[in-house]
Structure 1
Amino acid sequence: MSYKVKQTNTARGTILRKPAVESRGGVVSSQHRRASEIGVEVMRAGGNAYDAAVAVSFALGVLEPWMSGPFGGGGMMVAPANGPVEALYYGMKAPKRLDPADYPLEAEGRASDLFPWKAVVGDRNVYGALAVAVPGTVAGISALHRRYGTMPWGELLQPAIAAAREGLLMDWYAMLMIASRAEVLASDSDAAALFLDKGVYPRAAGWTALSDQRLNMSRMADTLAHIAAVGADDFYRGDLARSLIGDLQAKGSRMALDDLESYQPEWQKPLVVPHNGAAFHLTPRLTAGPTFADLLGELGQLRPKAPTGAPGAQDYVAWARALQGAYTRRLAGAGDDAPEAGQDAPNAPSCTTHFAVVDADGNMLSMTQTLLSAFGSGVVSGSTGLLMNNGIMWFDPEQGNPNSVAPNKRCLMNICPVYVEKGARRIALGAAGGRKILPAVAQMTLLMTDHDLSPDEAMHAPRIDVSGGPMVQADVALSPEIHDALGQEFDTIGVERGFFPLAYACPVGVVREEGLNTGVSEIAMPWAASVAAD
């Protein structure tokens, strides 16, 4: 099923349209159309939503290699049609032998990427081998497959392997993403060889030429084929684990084989928060889930009964107040097993990926996976072709604070995969976009529960962003009345919805109601798409 993007210039900015897809069969929504198609193909072949998720997860690591991959981490909400809702946490961890002395502070200045920590000499907590944390993605996907999968593991990895053999097509968006990190990629010889031409430029033909220029991802293809053949355990305890650790240690990492061997994902009982007749199932810790629960509690006091239909000025003001309050409490927080500290840089490019799946039987999943920054640490494992994460950047490099960097400590993430029920409506949704994730996910779900908007209406509704700083970003497409109401209480700036830099996060989701499945994807993201099985 195809979709169209309609763009109309108006006095209040640009209006984009990316209509929802509907089906009585399965639907996959992701940040890359081909990944969504792969998930649908798995369901057409007889797989369920969780088989599709395995295939989509690995495919996204090939199709959007800067957003996520096997050496990343994440989390998911799993909602079987006839079973209990569960959360699965597979976030990153600091290596056991991490030494805080490896991250000396500069005399002044702030970190160069997402979080305004005090600057570390050489940005060692942001780029390079010392920024790499112990990964969880492969362990998490494997845990999902063991519990819910019906198709053979190796078969589900074949689409990702084929995509890697073909190589990533260098269109304008891929070139833009690579150019945005070219300086970082140039500092690692393996990353430069994969992504850059002459160690400087994105691999591409002339700007007027029709080209089939592709990245050579053959090493990644071989690695995925190995995981498909011998199983996920080899990534943590076998030959592949030894190759990964050897590459990292050669580049200065303190990670050791026992860091991988001891890693375990964690099945968790979700937080369940009632709100205006809906039940919000949220990840319980080490994510934005607890902050979402806090937000809902405050919103219940600020706006106990929101009117159905399009939200008005009072709704946006209440959302801004609740978001600001929840983030104030979150940012005062702590580290492992407690609220997160730090704050994102404004309007960073998207650096995470989210997808959601529903099958014909009503099994649903909402899954977020990430390398943290775009291209993670900027380090590629030469023998495997995999990009390494930079999860150490989640920690405060200054010692003596609750979230200070320390060995064997779990990384705190901004991810917020959710599952929501209200009456016959079931919603699986999440987003990419750092600290902007929670505001987007909260507004999308509230539009479909408090205000009873359709999934399509909710995705196209203008949003605000309040993500820890004093300023409120408001979509220029909002009415003057809403801008005025926000401006009376907050330092407010009008910002157009766009994808680079990402102003309002990138939500994608699926909704099931009375047997009809609907998929929606962020209208401003050029590759994002929902695809239906029929």
Structure 2
Amino acid sequence: MATSTFTTRPELLGTHGMVASTHWLASAVGMSVLEAGGNAFDAAVAAGFTLSVVEPHLNGPGGDAPLMGHRAADGHTFVICGQGTAPAAATTDRYADLGLDLVPGTGHLAAVVPGAFGAWLDLLARYGTLPLADVLGPAIGYARHGYPLIPQAVATIMSVAGMFAEHWPTSAAVYLPHGAPPEPGARFTNPDLADTFERLLAEAAAAGPDREAQIEAARRAFYEGFVAERMVTYTQGTAVRDSSGRTHTGLLSGEDLAGWRATEERSVAVPFGGYEVHKTGAWGQGPVLLQQLTMLEALGVAELPDGPELAHAVTEVAKLAFADREAWYGDAPDADVPLDVLLSPAYAAERAALVGPDAADGLQPGSPGGRTPRLPAFLTAPGAGRTHEGSAGTDALGTEPVAGVGEPTVRPDGLTRGDTCHVDVVDRWGNLVSATPSGGWLQSSPVVPGLGFGLPTRAQMFWLEPGLPNSLVPGRRPRTTLSPGLVLRDGAPYLAFGTPGGDQQDQWPVPFLVRHLLHGRNLQEAIDAPTWHSTHVPSSFYPREQVPRGLVVESRLGADALADLARRGHAVQDAGPWTLGRLSATGVRADGLLRAAANPRGMQGYAVGR
């Protein structure tokens, strides 16, 4: 059964540049930078800062931002890690003393070093050409003079308005400006954020005319100067209510902030269908996409019909890859994360042999190199596999609903639209950028007084059980779900792609890549095609819910296909026709034309270019 090639929009083609993102304003800002002579790296930074203003429920300047890039001039492919680390004081004993078996999903105790600001500045300094003022200016304008607040942001504010009013007055001051949530589409401003950005530019200008010196001065002001001082004073000095149902102060210190810098790292890659697909290392979940692709090649995916056969195969390899993620991934020493074996064709063939005609049950991590896998005890203890019906979650005891937990606007059933952000850029020289900024969500971390933004709550992704690759250790990065991606063809730039979606960030792209790289669909056709994801795997976010054999499917796959998947043993949930996936992509066609496409679901993502 083949799915329709209907598209909501054309795939864009041009020669000058392309930007695709989860918000039309960010796409337009990025394109304006390309028009002004900037390169893809300049445009991505400008779009990223714009996203931090116009999608405050999905990301912020104090969030996280893994970035990937390819410089066409010399074929250099790289990762810039904008994932901050755990505070020095964040030990498992500290949380145990507080009576916690999970890091809360909201509030000060979940805060790690904010990485997004440093990552954007690092990308600009290393690979950009424009001054910081040029790429930060549009974000300042939107924060100062206003932008239309999208309905999803308003809905998020409404969901936490009571908590803001009662427990987080600094957030209420920004997001309940007249004691109530703004109206959808209302002109919304954040003058404190504009002031913060403008003061950072003033610090930059004081460093003199040199572009790199200005960028470094702004970085120091954020991580060692006035921004750092306000973050530490607030988190250490003011207890706030979090998802445990109690109030706590934070652990982040000035030394944590001053000692952190974004780092450039090598990507990891596997061949697939004549292409090379690149992701971050195992401190992120990106290698699970690579594992899925290698298993699918072992299963002969190119010959599978696009319908229930493909959906079943993709779902089953996802369950195997994500089980490996739980057992083996994290920011641990290389000796503890056998990534080379996990990505090898021999291991993929061994794992693919486990895929049968019916939906498998349980988590089945493999034994790379003969090593014995170990899953977190929380996932195998009585009560593991519990589910929740709403986006609020429960407290640490599984009793009272709380607001703002997890990667908060993504429900396991896919019915709530959005979470996180994404931007892809290609310029006329063939440079590529893929970036997935997130964290610092308005609903998960209270606004720092005077700064206009909150902190990342990514520490909730650590396990408090010692000895696991993703166990909480001071100075480690939590294993993030944020997962930009690049594709090369014969070493040349081909595609930047990605999606928001928490754990789905490395599920929704799999059918997209199969349909585009193997089936020959253009970018928009592959993005628009009906998709699915498994909820069998445990969530990376508090309270770590999972649905055994759960499979969420867009109804456009067809009633017969959904029935077929149910007969195979999948716990199928019909998510409606247009609910899943937030993909965007930009790239270079074989004839040198630039191309781009963006997700129509949610009615806010757009691609622009010429």
- Give the TM-score normalised by structure 1: 0.85
For 1:182-197, what aligned pairs fall within 5 Å after superposition? Answer: 182-186=161-165, 187-197=167-177
Paired residues of 1:474 and 1:492 also in contact (CA < 8 A): no
In structure 1, the residue matched to 2:454 is: 387
Indicate yes or no: 2:147 matched with 1:156.
no
Task: Indicate the SS of the match to 1:73.
Answer: coil
Indicate yes or no: 2:174 matched with 1:174.
no
In structure 1, the residue matched to 2:430 is: 362
Aligned-pair identity in percent equals 26
For 1:179-258, what aligned pairs fall within 5 Å after superposition? Answer: 179-186=158-165, 187-197=167-177, 199=179, 201-204=180-183, 213-229=186-202, 230=204, 231-251=218-238, 252-258=249-255
Residues 1:194 and 1:246: Cα distance change in structure 2 (over 3 Å): same
Which deviations, in whole Å up to 9, do the C-alpha atoms of 1:278-328 show, x marking residues without a partner? 111111221122212221221121125436xx7243222221121111112
The 1-side partners of 2:450 and 2:56 are apart by 16
In structure 1, the residue matched to 2:299 is: 302
Paired residues of 1:270 and 1:282 also in contact (CA < 8 A): yes
Indicate yes or no: 2:518 matched with 1:531.
no
Residues 1:98 and 1:119: Cα distance change in structure 2 (over 3 Å): closer
Q: Which amino acid aligns with 1:413?
A: T
The 1-side partners of 2:529 and 2:105 are apart by 35
Residues 1:409 and 1:245: Cα distance change in structure 2 (over 3 Å): same
In structure 1, the residue matched to 2:45 is: 54
The 1-side partners of 2:528 and 2:97 are apart by 43
Structure 1 residue aligned with 2:581, among 500, 505, 523?
Answer: 505
Structure 1 residue aligned with 2:595, among 505, 515, 518?
Answer: 518
Counting matched residue pairs gives 495
For 1:2-21, what aligned pairs fall within 5 Å after superposition? Answer: 17-21=8-12
Which deviations, in whole Å up to 9, do the C-alpha atoms of 1:129-180 show, x marking residues without a partner? 2221111111111111111111111221100000100134345333112113
Q: Which amino acid aligns with 1:379?
A: P
The 2-side partners of 1:394 and 1:198 are apart by 35
Paired residues of 2:283 and 2:329 also in contact (CA < 8 A): no
Indicate yes or no: 2:117 matched with 1:144.
no
Q: Which amino acid aligns with 1:96?
A: A
Task: Report deviation, 1:486.
Answer: 2.3
Residues 1:238 and 1:498: Cα distance change in structure 2 (over 3 Å): farther
Residues 1:184 and 1:506: Cα distance change in structure 2 (over 3 Å): farther
Task: Report deviation, 1:253.
Answer: 1.6
Paired residues of 1:355 and 1:368 also in contact (CA < 8 A): yes
Residues 1:497 and 1:432: Cα distance change in structure 2 (over 3 Å): farther
Task: Report deviation, 1:217.
Answer: 0.7
Paired residues of 1:376 and 1:387 also in contact (CA < 8 A): no
The 2-side partners of 1:198 and 1:171 are apart by 18
Task: Indicate the SS of the match to 1:369.
Answer: coil
Which deviations, in whole Å up to 9, do the C-alpha atoms of 1:461-480 show, x marking residues without a partner? 11110251521122110134
Task: Report deviation, 1:390.
Answer: 1.0
Task: Indicate the SS of the match to 1:358.
Answer: strand
Residues 1:51 and 1:197: Cα distance change in structure 2 (over 3 Å): closer
Task: Indicate the SS of the match to 2:33.
Answer: helix
Paired residues of 1:194 and 1:215 also in contact (CA < 8 A): no
Paired residues of 2:18 and 2:608 also in contact (CA < 8 A): yes
Task: Indicate the SS of the match to 2:188.
Answer: coil
Task: Indicate the SS of the match to 1:506.
Answer: coil
Bigger drift between 432-441 and 407-416 goes to 407-416
The 2-side partners of 1:275 and 1:183 are apart by 49
The 2-side partners of 1:30 and 1:282 are apart by 19
Paired residues of 1:509 and 1:519 also in contact (CA < 8 A): yes
Structure 1 residues not aligned, in runs of 5+ = 1-11, 108-117
Task: Report deviation, 1:336.
Answer: 2.4
Residues 1:147 and 1:170: Cα distance change in structure 2 (over 3 Å): closer
Task: Report deviation, 1:510.
Answer: 0.9
Which deviations, in whole Å up to 9, do the C-alpha atoms of 1:331-356 show, x marking residues without a partner? 23354234997798613643311110
The 1-side partners of 2:299 and 2:161 are apart by 46
Paired residues of 2:581 and 2:601 also in contact (CA < 8 A): no
In structure 1, the residue matched to 2:69 is: 78
Aligned-residue RMSD, C-alpha: 2.8
Structure 2 residues not aligned, in runs of 5+ = 205-217, 239-248, 340-374, 380-384, 386-405, 538-546
The 2-side partners of 1:391 and 1:425 are apart by 31
In structure 2, the residue matched to 1:408 is: 475
Paired residues of 2:284 and 2:330 also in contact (CA < 8 A): no
Indicate yes or no: 2:312 matched with 1:317.
yes
For 1:116-155, what aligned pairs fall within 5 Å after superposition? Answer: 125-155=104-134
Residues 1:498 and 1:129: Cα distance change in structure 2 (over 3 Å): farther
Q: Which amino acid aligns with 1:507?
A: L
Structure 2 residue aligned with 1:429, among 480, 497, 515?
Answer: 497
Indicate yes or no: 2:470 matched with 1:479.
no
In structure 1, the residue matched to 2:345 is: none
In structure 1, the residue matched to 2:346 is: none
Task: Indicate the SS of the match to 1:519.
Answer: strand
Q: Larger % of strand: which?
A: 1
Indicate yes or no: 2:255 matched with 1:265.
no
Residues 1:325 and 1:81: Cα distance change in structure 2 (over 3 Å): same
In structure 2, the residue matched to 1:4 is: none
- Give the TM-score normalised by structure 2: 0.75
In structure 1, the residue matched to 2:87 is: 95
Structure 2 residue aligned with 1:440, among 505, 508, 531?
Answer: 508
Q: Which amino acid aligns with 2:86?
A: A
Q: Which amino acid aligns with 2:321?
A: A
For 1:322-341, what aligned pairs fall within 5 Å after superposition? Answer: 322-333=317-328, 335-337=330-332, 338=337
In structure 2, the residue matched to 1:111 is: none
Q: Which amino acid aligns with 1:100?
A: T
In structure 2, the residue matched to 1:496 is: 575
